[in-house]
Structure 1
Amino acid sequence: MCVLGGVFANKLANAQSVEPTQEPDSLAQRIDLLQQEVDQLKQKNDRFNLLINFQGNNRSNFDQNGFVDNKFTIDQFRIEMMGELADGLTYRFRQRINSTSGNGNQDGLSFATDVMELQYEVNDDFRIKFGKQAEMLGGYEFDYNPIDIYQYTLIGNYCKGFLTGVNFSYDIGAQNLNFQIVNADNTLSTDRLPEGVNETGAAMGYNVLWYGSLFDGKLQPIWSYQLYNNYEDAFTKRVNLGFRINQKKPNRFFEFEVYNSSEDVDDMKLVSDVYQQFEGNDNTLMTDVQYYGVVGKYRYAFSDKCHALVKYAYEKANTKDGSFYGETSSTQSDVFTSQTGVVAFEYYPYGYADGFRVHLAVSSQGFNYVDQVNAAGVEDISNSSIMIGVKHRLQLF
């Protein structure tokens, strides 16, 4: 660590040193001096970039009973700073403005802090990243900037999200491999532990992810395996396999994702939250819970400025915890199925690469509970929205 710190310090010192210049005597020297000044200005700009990630909508909301309300919403507003401190040493910081800033995380950072990381490029193929960062979840949905999402699936919305740790990234030709070690969770629910489950002093997560490129980029997999040791002898094991199939014309592609999350103690907590609604039950976390689902999305570009997309997800949850239905058997019991759908039309007035977007989107997400859950007084849920709005990733500096 001391050696690595010395490398960082030397790079910073070298980056900040300025050679003395002499008064130019000729036109060639004046041109050289001008080029040096341009290079220095570019270097300063590379060190600090400020961006605003924004999505705002006029949103009409509906539930299973009909119309709820219409209002203007700022659904995403995140300030982002990034730059190159020295050759091969970069930083990135992203903060949510329209989110709770409460503390209580294992890492001491606010819940609203998405990213606070340093990355060191050892060579052209190998990079080390340290700090709070996105978990290596796999699949395509979580790989997008949140401003590009109209409605998250369950796995995208209830995953751990952003955790503090270290990531090692290595390129092998067109393939990229990652190994990540992070805190197992920022908000471990130690007050909800079931009987016989204890805290662990080393709640860590170990994630492996592959960014692939096959058949000259026509097929691009994002596969991951996650192992989280949340509690003593209690693990979450998750496989997430994502694919993108690119068509010949740009911005026309199909994305497909399938996942399975096997949780010794309910990590996503959706099944436990259903159990909590049963009369007489407390908020104890369920055990032996499983979530799985499939997600598909297709984007079609009519032109560089006009796009459309459709997205559909089918997800399911079950548990072997006998206490869920008041039974002592350990047979698998279904709890709910969930369906998510999105249809969107997008217009990019300055072209797709610019990123500024005007959109009309319809999203829907519902929970259909099994008969035993309905009989216990838990009603099916359906939430839909019609959104007319804009999004942009605006670079100020």
Structure 2
Amino acid sequence: MIKKSFVYFVLILLPIFSFGQKQTQEGNTAYPPIIPNSKLSLLKDVDVIFNTRMAFDNYFVDNDHVNSVFSLNQLRFEVKGKIHDKVFFRFRNRYTKIADPNTVDNISRSVDIAYLTFDLTPHTKFSFGKIIGDWGGYELLSNPIEILSYNTINNYNENFLAGAAFSYALTDHKNKFNFQLLNSRTKTFQDQFGATVPPGITATETPLAAVGNWKGCFFGGKLETTYSYSYFMDANNANRNFISLGNKYKNKKLVLFYDFQYSKEDLDQKCVVTNIIKSKYAYAAQDVSYVENWIRAEYQIRPKVNLLLTLMNDNSYWNGNPDSGKDSYLLTSYGIIPTVEYSPFSDINIKFYAGYVAKKNNYSTYAQNNFGVTDGTTGQLSFGIIAPLLVL
């Protein structure tokens, strides 16, 4: 069958190629290729990747089956590489996200990454464009196709923002420092909050975020860290402080990750608290905080089989509650994701997986009595394929 297809292919293309050659001879004109031969050597430093995750997903709410569908959960097209000895570029577009052109950075929100990096010295780099915020710990740094479900902060954060970054690595390259100045959001202030803007809160002329990150490497590479502090100017007199402590331990067949994250927000950017209180309050919540933990373990039980377990929780607080009898604690959410991965091929990175995403919301007694919210669970059982397909 393959031989027949090949013969048909040749028979179809041969007249076309012959016609093209004839045209060149008759016109006595040699048209240069789109990519000059002198530039073809650049392709050896360029990667083209289709980051893909597709699955048969089965959804449950409070243990009741809701529906079962085939889904293309992730499709992110990525091109990256060197275009000069000292210039690196990276572009990634997500086709499984609505392309919203109404953004403050003038680029669709479906574009995750689009930036240039310049090597100023062997230890110093400067990047400019739309980049990933360097605050997320290892959950955010992981390839998105490897994360079946995010914890609260990274799920509701805008993690890809336009701006500039300056990074410096010490001589041993075991410690790296990264400083970023970014837009604090992709949406306009009005688009994000609309009629829910609290009285007295107005848009700032400088909606920017400053990020400082330190990445460390210890014990011969067995322990790695990524710690950061970020300060966001979300509105006039409404800012956000974000601390993230990411830890990674790897030894032979075991890899462990632990992220601790804390976000204190003068104006609720995640909107989790806002959605809890909306039955009684028309405006976005003020003075809220989120505290969360994310743990992931990966263990290779056989050369082609990996076991994974992800545990996560988030605690949401409304410190600015005007109720005299208030309880600032409103919600604790939990998540557990057991996963089995099977890699059948040794020469290409394709994994078949089975995973279950179980999440539970536990509301405080105060939240239930005052805002009418109720505890609940959700589940997602998936059988699928994870494939960061490197095609070039």
- Say whether the fold is shared (TM-score over 0.5): yes
Q: Which amino acid aligns with 1:341?
A: I
CA positional deviation for 1:233: 2.0
Instruction: Specify the SS of the correspondent of 1:213.
Output: strand
What residue is the counterpart of 2:11 in the other structure? none
What residue is the counterpart of 2:260 in the other structure? 258
Instruction: Specify the SS of the correspondent of 1:261.
Output: strand
User: Counterparts of 2:335 and 2:219 in 1: how far apart (Å)?
Assistant: 31
CA positional deviation for 1:42: 3.5
Alignment of 1:222-233 (within 5 A): 222-233=226-237
Instruction: Specify the SS of the correspondent of 1:199.
Output: coil
User: Counterparts of 1:255 and 1:150 in 2: how far apart (Å)?
Assistant: 16
What residue is the counterpart of 1:241 in the other structure? 245
Q: Which amino acid aligns with 1:117?
A: Y
Q: Please list the CA deviations of residues 2-36 of structure 1 after superposition, one character each: whole Å capped at 9, or x if unmatched.
A: xxxxxxxxxxxxxxxxxxxxxxxxxxxxxxxxxxx
Instruction: Specify the SS of the correspondent of 2:374.
Output: coil
Equivalent of 1:73 in 71, 74, 92: 71
Q: Does 1:205 align with 2:209?
A: yes
Q: Which amino acid aligns with 2:180?
A: Q
Alignment of 1:1-397 (within 5 A): 41-46=40-45, 48-64=46-62, 66-172=64-170, 173=172, 174-187=174-187, 188=189, 189-191=192-194, 192-247=196-251, 249-250=252-253, 252-276=254-278, 278=279, 281-282=281-282, 284-323=283-322, 327-328=323-324, 333-351=328-346, 354-375=348-369, 376-397=371-392
Which moved further from structure 2: 109-118 or 295-304? 295-304
CA positional deviation for 1:41: 4.1
Whether the 8 Å CA contact 1:114–1:134 is kept in 2: the answer is: yes
Instruction: Specify the SS of the correspondent of 2:221.
Output: coil
CA positional deviation for 1:99: 1.1
User: Counterparts of 1:339 and 1:307 in 2: how far apart (Å)?
Assistant: 23
Instruction: Specify the SS of the correspondent of 2:274.
Output: helix
Q: What TM-score, normalized to structure 2?
A: 0.85
User: Counterparts of 1:367 and 1:108 in 2: how far apart (Å)?
Assistant: 37
CA positional deviation for 1:265: 0.9
- Distance change >3 Å, CA 65–CA 246, structure 1 → 2: closer
Whether the 8 Å CA contact 1:51–1:80 is kept in 2: the answer is: yes
Q: Please list the CA deviations of residues 294-349 of structure 1 after superposition, one character each: whole Å capped at 9, or x if unmatched.
A: 111111011331100111112100112224xxx157x6511100001100000111
Q: What TM-score, normalized to structure 1?
A: 0.84
Q: Which amino acid aligns with 2:391?
A: L
User: Counterparts of 1:384 and 1:97 in 2: how far apart (Å)?
Assistant: 25
CA positional deviation for 1:103: 1.6
User: Counterparts of 1:332 and 1:319 in 2: how far apart (Å)?
Assistant: 8
* Runs (5+) with no aligned partner, structure 2: 1-35
User: Counterparts of 1:307 and 1:44 in 2: how far apart (Å)?
Assistant: 33
CA positional deviation for 1:38: 11
Whether the 8 Å CA contact 2:216–2:224 is kept in 1: the answer is: yes
Q: Please list the CA deviations of residues 154-201 of structure 1 after superposition, one character each: whole Å capped at 9, or x if unmatched.
A: 122112210000011111121111001000111233422211222110
State, as a whole percentage, how many aligned pairs show the same letter: 24
Instruction: Specify the SS of the correspondent of 2:99.
Output: coil
Whether the 8 Å CA contact 1:138–1:209 is kept in 2: the answer is: no
CA positional deviation for 1:49: 3.1
CA positional deviation for 1:396: 2.1
Whether the 8 Å CA contact 2:327–2:366 is kept in 1: the answer is: no
Whether the 8 Å CA contact 2:175–2:214 is kept in 1: the answer is: yes
User: Counterparts of 1:165 and 1:129 in 2: how far apart (Å)?
Assistant: 8
CA positional deviation for 1:50: 2.1
**Root-mean-square deviation (CA), in Å?**
1.9
What residue is the counterpart of 2:14 in the other structure? none
Q: Please list the CA deviations of residues 126-148 of structure 1 after superposition, one character each: whole Å capped at 9, or x if unmatched.
A: 11110001111231100001001
Whether the 8 Å CA contact 1:338–1:367 is kept in 2: the answer is: yes
User: Counterparts of 2:157 and 2:376 in 1: how far apart (Å)?
Assistant: 21
Whether the 8 Å CA contact 1:190–1:199 is kept in 2: the answer is: no
* Runs (5+) with no aligned partner, structure 1: 1-36
Instruction: Specify the SS of the correspondent of 1:271.
Output: helix
- Distance change >3 Å, CA 175–CA 354, structure 1 → 2: farther
User: Counterparts of 1:43 and 1:161 in 2: how far apart (Å)?
Assistant: 30
User: Counterparts of 1:255 and 1:183 in 2: how far apart (Å)?
Assistant: 29
Q: Which amino acid aligns with 1:230?
A: D
User: Counterparts of 2:199 and 2:119 in 1: how far apart (Å)?
Assistant: 46
Runs (4+) of structure 1 exceeding 6 A deviation are 37-40
